[in-house]
Amino acid sequence: AQKVTQAQTEISVVEKEDVTLDCVYETRDTTYYLFWYKQPPSGELVFLIRRNSFDEQNEISGRYSWNFQKSTSSFNFTITASQVVDSAVYFCALSLGLQFNNAGNMLTFGGGTRLMVKP
């Protein structure tokens, strides 16, 4: 079975600080996909990024960056120069390759990290 752990339940920062959200995953499969979703106070889930297990390149998108390290089974998310609009709950999630079964497309979520950015 798969497991995703987000050890930080809540983080509070002051605007313009950098912040890193940790994500550690467990799976015995060699093919898998990792995701980050954002849930703002309005409640919807917003897709941020996906990464497959064969691509360990880090990715940067504006103020967002992701560090994928298979050696430590981690997929951490950094927000540079945080803004109040970044305040949300962030979820890390994992899904498996479909070569195993039809459930491979389904997501296993971590418990989420609530980020509060204060002005």
Instruction: Sketch the per residue contact string, 42 through 81, with another protein: x for CB under 8 A, - otherwise.
Output: -xxx-x--x-x-----------------------------
Strands 108-109 and 88-96: antiparallel
Instruction: Sketch the per residue contact string, 76 through 115, with another protein: x for CB under 8 A, - otherwise.
Output: ---------------x-x-xxxx---xxxxxxxxxxx---
CB of 108 to another protein, least distance (A): 8
In the region spanning residues 14 to 43, those forming contacts with another protein, defined by CB under 8 A, are: 32-33, 35, 37, 43
Residue 24 burial (C-beta neighbours within 10 Å; 0-12, 13-18, 19+): middle
CB of 15 to another protein, least distance (A): 26
Specify the residue, 14 or 45, whose C-beta has the smaller distance to another protein.
45
Residues making contact with another protein (CB under 8 A)? 4, 6, 9, 32-33, 35, 37, 43-45, 47, 50, 52, 91, 93, 95-98, 102-112
